[in-house]
Structure 1
Amino acid sequence: MEGGSSSSGGGRKITVSPRPCCGRRVVANKKPRRGGGVDGFVNSVKKLQRREISSNRDRGFNMSDSQERFRNILLQEEYDTHDPKGPSSVVLPFLRKRSKIIEIVAAQDIVFALAQSGVCAAFSRDTNERICFLNVSPDEIIRNLFYNKNNDSLITVSVYASDSCSSFKCRSTGIEYIRRVKPDAGFALFESESLKWPGFVEFDDVNGKVLTYSAQDSIYKVFDLKNYTMLYCISDKNVQEIKISPGIMLLIFAKATSHVPLKILSIEDGTVLKSFNHLLHRNKKVDFIEQFNEKLLVKQENENLQILDVRTFELTEVSRSEFMTPSAFIFLYENQLFLTFRNRTVAVWNFRGELVTSFEDHLLWHPDCNTNDIYITSDQDLIISYCKADSDDSLSEGNVGSINVSNILTGKCLAKVRASNSSPMANECSSGDNCSSSACNSRNRKHVSKIRSKVAEALEDITALFYDEERNEIYTGNRLGLVHVWSN
C-alpha cells in the first residue's frame, strides 16, 4: 500500500512525509505464501483454484455464526491517548495536544493507538490501563505501526523534528518489553539505508519481506522480515514502481511512447521470471497498474480496464462505463477476488472482469476511503467498516455513524453497531464471576468502567478501526484521541 496502512495484513508501504497520507492499495492475505524462484511462481499459479460463491458448502453456517458473533456487541471500555503532561520524554508542544487516532494495532493483550500528532500509546486489555507511550526520543514523531508476528514485535516508523521530518527511522520493540514498560528496549532497523523523501519502506506480511527504496542512490533492497537480513538489491534508475504479490514482484519501468516495460521477479531471490512490454494508448494517462499473481490490471484515463494473463497473454477488457477507476483496492488472495472503493461504495470483482458483489448496506463514512477504518477478516469473508448511519436512526445525527459488518461474498449486512441499538455501558459489570477483566478480581468487587462517552459519542467521527479476531473485539479511535472497545 502506498502512503498509508493495511487493515488486514499484506503489504504496507510508507513514504517519507511529515504527515501521514491516505493510500490506494492494500493487500489482504490469510497466511504468508512462500515461493522459490521459478518453482515458487509456478506453484503460486497452481494454487489459483477458483472458489466460486456456490462452492462454499458452509456458507450458511458461517453467515449465521458471524451474525451471532456480532449480535450483542456493546461499548465496553474507553482509553485515552491524551495526557496533559504528555509522554515524559516529549518536549514538542504539539505532541501534548489532543489529536485524532489514525491507526490502531492489537497484538496479544495490548492495543496500540497512534495519534496524528505522532504520539503512540499502548493499553493493556487485561488491566484496562495505559501501559506506556512508545515515543522514546524527545522529538520523535511516530508515523506508522507494523506488528511483526514473525518475532512478536512492534515496528514503529518515525520522523524527527531535529531532522525537519525529512527522513524516517524504523525501530523494532518486542511486545514483551512493552508489556514490561520498557519501550526503549528496542533496536534500530535499516540504519545503513538513506530513507529520505521520496524514499520508502514497505512491510510485506504476505511474503515475509521488507522492501526499502533509497532515493539518494535509486536502489531497492529486499530484507527478510524474520531477522532483517538483506537478501538482494535492485539498482535501476528506470524502475518507476514495484508492486508485490505472493511469491513475486512486478517492476514497472519508465513509460515509453506506446508501451510500458515490465518485469516479474521472484520475491525470494530477485530472479527475473518474465520480461515483456504492455501496449498503451498514446497520450493517455495511466490511472493504475496492479499485479495479482498471474493477472495484470491496467487502466488508462477514459479507457477500458485491461486484465492480462501474463502466462498466456490472454487479454480481458472491462468497459470503462462498468469499471471506473477506484480510489483504493483490497486484493483477497484466499478468494481470488478484489475489492474496489469509489465514492464511499465497495464492490467485489473477479479476475474475469465480472462484478461479483454489490453491498446492500455498506456506505462508507469517509469519501477518500481511509483504509485505517476498514478491516478484512483473515478468512476474507467479512468486511468491517465505519459507515454512514441509517436515515431512520434517530440517535445518529450530525457526525454519528455506525460500524457495519458485511459478508464479502454476498454483500449482505450481517450486523451493525449503531447508536439506537446499543445500550449504554453500566457503571458496574453485570458479568459476575464470568467477567474476564482483571478489574473483577474479587467476588465482592464490582468492575467499574471508565467510560465517559455515550454510545452515540463513541460512534461520532471514528477515524480508525481494528478488529481483534481472537478476542472478538472491535477497537475504534476518534478525533478526540479516545479509543473505544466494542465487545459482546
Structure 2
Amino acid sequence: MEGRRITASPQPWCSRRVVAKKRKFSGSDGFVNSVKKIQRREISSKRDRSFSMSNAQERFRNILLQEEYDTHDPKGHSSMVLPFLKKRSKIIEIVAARDIVFALAQSGMCAAFCRETNQRICFLNVSPDEVIRSLFYNKNNDSLITVSVYASDNFSSLKCRTTRIEYIKRGKPDAGFPLFESESLKWPGFVEFDDVNGKVLTYSAHDSVYKVFDLRNYTMLYSISDKNVQEIKISPGIMLLIFTKNIGHVPLKILSIEDGTVLKSFKHLLHRNKKVDFIEQFNEKLLVKQENENLQILDVRNSDVIEVNRTEFMTPSAFIFLYENQLFLTFRNRTVAVWNFRGELVTSFEDHLLWHPDCNTNNIYITSDQDLIISYCKADSESEDTLSQANAGSINISNILTGKCLAKIKASNSNPDDNCSCSASCGGKICNSKKRAQASTVRSTVAEALEDITALFYDEERNEIYTGNRFGLVHVWSN
C-alpha cells in the first residue's frame, strides 16, 4: 500500500504530501482536506478468503458507540493563542498510535486523547501562533511528525517537528525537535512522507531542488536539481520523474528510491494538444490518461501497451494502489471500483455510495492486509425513518476483492435516545438506552454521531473505529 498526499485539489497520489499554501492564511479559510492515512505492512501469507470474510464479520459484529472526545476547549487555551484556534471547527484528520488518538481540527488545533483513561492528554500546538496542517505517525522511531505554519511567518512556510510518542503520553508535546530546517518549504514547496519506502521527499521551490531523506533518522540521502522536473511519483523501490511535456511526447525517468540512480530513461508518446489527465507509476506499470482518450497501461520493461476504452475507464478523482494485491482502487462520483493491470474491472462494490461527492478520502481506510475498505457512506432507506436519522450516514465495512458489504454501523432500528450502533447482522436489537448510560462521556446519539463525519480512522490493533465530525467531536466505535 502507499501512503498519502495532501494537495490543493483531489488528484492521484502515491505517497503523502503536504503543500505550502500560496495565499495568506485566514482564520475563516478551510485547510485542504487530508487524504485518509493508508498503511502498508509486509504480509508473509494470505489467509483463506472465506475465513478472512467470516473473521471480518465477527470483528465488526456488535460494534457500539463507546466514547466521545471533544477537541474544543477554549478555557484550556492560553490568551495568547490565535483567536480562530479557540473556535470550534470540524475534524480533518485522525491518527492513532500506542493507545493515543490524535485529532486535528480544521482550525489548526490538535489534541491527543488517551484510550486507557479516556482523558485529553494535551494539545500538540506548542507555540501560541502555531497552526498544525497535518500529522504523520512515523512507526520507524515511534514518533509523531506535525507539519505546521506560523503567524510569525505569515503562514507562508511549512515547518516540521517530530515528537516521540512517549513524551506526548507524559503531556510534553514541546519535547520534540524540528526537522528539515535547511529547506525552504514556501509555496509551491512541499514535504512528502513515504511510509512504504521509509523516505521523505522535500521540494524547495526557490531553487527547484528535490531532496530525499531517510525516515528513520532524517539524514539526507541525495538531491535532484532539474528545473524541467514537473512532478515526482513514488512507488515501492522507485521514483518516476515526469519532465516538462514536449510536442508529441513527455520525457520520463525511473530512479532508484534508495540512491537516486537512474534505472531507465524513456519518452512516452502523447496526442498533441490534449491535456494529460494523469500519469501514474505502479512498479513496472505506467498508467497514462489524456483528455477524451483511452487509458494506456504501459509495461516499462518491454514497452507493451494495454488500452482501456475511455467509456469503460473514465478519469477518477483519486487512486489507491494495493501493492500486495497488484490492484488499484479508483474513486469517481461517490463510487469505488477495483481494477487490475490488465485493464479489467475486478470489483464493483454493493451498497457502497460514498457520502462526500468530492471523494473525501479522509473518510476511507484500507486495512493493512488490503482486504477491507472502511468508508463513510450514504445510509440505505431504512435509516431515514425519522427526521433525526435522515441526515445520518453509515460506516460500511466491505471486502475489496468481492465488493460484498460485511458489516455496517448505522442508526436504523434505534430510537434517538438509544445508543444502538450494531452491524447489519445485529439489526440493532441488542442495544438499548442502558448501554448509553454506561458511557457517561457520550452525549451524542448514534444518529448524531453518524451525521456529517469528516474524518475516519481504524485502529487495527485495538479493533476500534474513530470518527470526527463538523463539531470537533471524536467518537469511538468498539465492541
8 Å contact from structure 2 (residues 36, 93) kept in 1: no
Question: Out of 416, 419, 428, which is 2:411 matched to?
Answer: 419
Q: Corresponding residue for 1:12? A: 16
Deviation at 1:324, TM superposition (A): 0.2
Give the Cα–Cα distance (whole angstroms) in 2 for the partners of residues 145 and 256 of structure 1: 37
Matching of residue 143 in structure 1 with residue 133 in structure 2: yes
Q: Corresponding residue for 1:407? A: 399
Deviation at 1:122, TM superposition (A): 0.1
Do the aligned partners of residues 99 and 231 (structure 1) sit closer, same or farther apart at CA in structure 2, a change above 3 Å counting?
same
Do the aligned partners of residues 219 and 347 (structure 1) sit closer, same or farther apart at CA in structure 2, a change above 3 Å counting?
same
Give the Cα–Cα distance (whole angstroms) in 1 for the partners of residues 294 and 440 of structure 2: 55
8 Å contact from structure 2 (residues 5, 14) kept in 1: no
Deviation at 1:85, TM superposition (A): 2.1
Q: Corresponding residue for 2:6? A: 3
Deviation at 1:372, TM superposition (A): 1.1
Secondary structure of residue in 2 paired with 1:158: strand
Q: Corresponding residue for 2:433? A: none
Superposed, 1:96-245 pairs within 5 Å as: 96-245=86-235
Give the Cα–Cα distance (whole angstroms) in 1 for the partners of residues 260 and 174 of structure 2: 35
Deviation per CA, 1:190-224, whole angstroms, max 9, x where unpaired? Answer: 00000000000000000000000000100000000
Secondary structure of residue in 1 paired with 2:141: coil
Question: Out of 463, 468, 475, which is 1:477 matched to?
Answer: 468
8 Å contact from structure 1 (residues 10, 28) kept in 2: no
Secondary structure of residue in 2 paired with 1:71: coil
Give the Cα–Cα distance (whole angstroms) in 1 for the partners of residues 414 and 41 of structure 2: 31
Do the aligned partners of residues 26 and 171 (structure 1) sit closer, same or farther apart at CA in structure 2, a change above 3 Å counting?
closer
Secondary structure of residue in 1 paired with 2:77: coil
8 Å contact from structure 1 (residues 30, 334) kept in 2: no
Q: Corresponding residue for 1:439? A: none
8 Å contact from structure 2 (residues 389, 412) kept in 1: no
Do the aligned partners of residues 89 and 155 (structure 1) sit closer, same or farther apart at CA in structure 2, a change above 3 Å counting?
farther
Matching of residue 449 in structure 1 with residue 435 in structure 2: no
Secondary structure of residue in 2 paired with 1:103: strand
Q: Corresponding residue for 2:432? A: none
Q: TM-score, normalised by structure 1?
A: 0.88
Deviation at 1:422, TM superposition (A): 6.3
Superposed, 1:273-292 pairs within 5 Å as: 273-292=263-282
Q: Corresponding residue for 1:487? A: 478
Deviation at 1:11, TM superposition (A): 1.9
Q: Corresponding residue for 2:450? A: 459
Letter in 1 for 2:90: K
Deviation at 1:21, TM superposition (A): 2.0
Secondary structure of residue in 1 paired with 2:382: coil
Deviation at 1:311, TM superposition (A): 0.3
Give the Cα–Cα distance (whole angstroms) in 2 for the partners of residues 290 and 150 of structure 1: 27
Deviation at 1:2, TM superposition (A): 3.6
8 Å contact from structure 2 (residues 244, 251) kept in 1: yes
Letter in 1 for 2:462: R
**5+ long unaligned stretches in structure 1:** 33-46, 427-445
Deviation at 1:26, TM superposition (A): 8.0
Matching of residue 319 in structure 1 with residue 322 in structure 2: no
8 Å contact from structure 1 (residues 406, 414) kept in 2: yes
Do the aligned partners of residues 162 and 86 (structure 1) sit closer, same or farther apart at CA in structure 2, a change above 3 Å counting?
farther
Give the Cα–Cα distance (whole angstroms) in 2 for the partners of residues 487 and 25 of structure 1: 20
Do the aligned partners of residues 57 and 457 (structure 1) sit closer, same or farther apart at CA in structure 2, a change above 3 Å counting?
closer
Secondary structure of residue in 2 paired with 1:409: coil
Question: Out of 243, 246, 261, which is 1:256 matched to?
Answer: 246
Give the Cα–Cα distance (whole angstroms) in 2 for the partners of residues 350 and 391 of structure 1: 33
Give the Cα–Cα distance (whole angstroms) in 2 for the partners of residues 149 and 476 of structure 1: 22
Computed over aligned residues only, the root mean square deviation of the Cα atoms, in angstroms, reads 2.2
8 Å contact from structure 1 (residues 219, 234) kept in 2: yes
Do the aligned partners of residues 66 and 25 (structure 1) sit closer, same or farther apart at CA in structure 2, a change above 3 Å counting?
closer
Deviation at 1:97, TM superposition (A): 0.5
Superposed, 1:290-305 pairs within 5 Å as: 290-305=280-295
Secondary structure of residue in 2 paired with 1:420: coil
Superposed, 1:376-391 pairs within 5 Å as: 376-391=366-381
Give the Cα–Cα distance (whole angstroms) in 2 for the partners of residues 454 and 65 of structure 1: 28
Matching of residue 29 in structure 1 with residue 40 in structure 2: yes
Give the Cα–Cα distance (whole angstroms) in 2 for the partners of residues 452 and 24 of structure 1: 28
Give the Cα–Cα distance (whole angstroms) in 1 for the partners of residues 329 and 77 of structure 2: 39
Deviation at 1:400, TM superposition (A): 0.9
Question: Out of 61, 67, 82, which is 2:51 matched to?
Answer: 61
Letter in 1 for 2:18: I
Do the aligned partners of residues 27 and 478 (structure 1) sit closer, same or farther apart at CA in structure 2, a change above 3 Å counting?
closer
Q: Corresponding residue for 2:428? A: none
Deviation per CA, 1:383-432, whole angstroms, max 9, x where unpaired? Answer: 00000000122247443100000000000000000001568349xxxxxx
Give the Cα–Cα distance (whole angstroms) in 2 for the partners of residues 89 and 158 of structure 1: 20
Give the Cα–Cα distance (whole angstroms) in 2 for the partners of residues 292 and 173 of structure 1: 32
Deviation at 1:91, TM superposition (A): 1.8
Give the Cα–Cα distance (whole angstroms) in 2 for the partners of residues 448 and 75 of structure 1: 9
Give the Cα–Cα distance (whole angstroms) in 1 for the partners of residues 130 and 377 of structure 2: 33
Deviation at 1:28, TM superposition (A): 5.3
Q: Corresponding residue for 1:39? A: none
Letter in 2 for 1:470: E
Deviation at 1:57, TM superposition (A): 6.9
Give the Cα–Cα distance (whole angstroms) in 1 for the partners of residues 217 and 466 of structure 2: 30
Superposed, 1:361-380 pairs within 5 Å as: 361-380=351-370
Do the aligned partners of residues 448 and 486 (structure 1) sit closer, same or farther apart at CA in structure 2, a change above 3 Å counting?
closer
Identity %: 79
Give the Cα–Cα distance (whole angstroms) in 2 for the partners of residues 294 and 330 of structure 1: 16
Which range is displaced more, 273-282 or 387-396?
387-396
8 Å contact from structure 2 (residues 252, 267) kept in 1: yes
Give the Cα–Cα distance (whole angstroms) in 2 for the partners of residues 102 and 220 of structure 1: 28
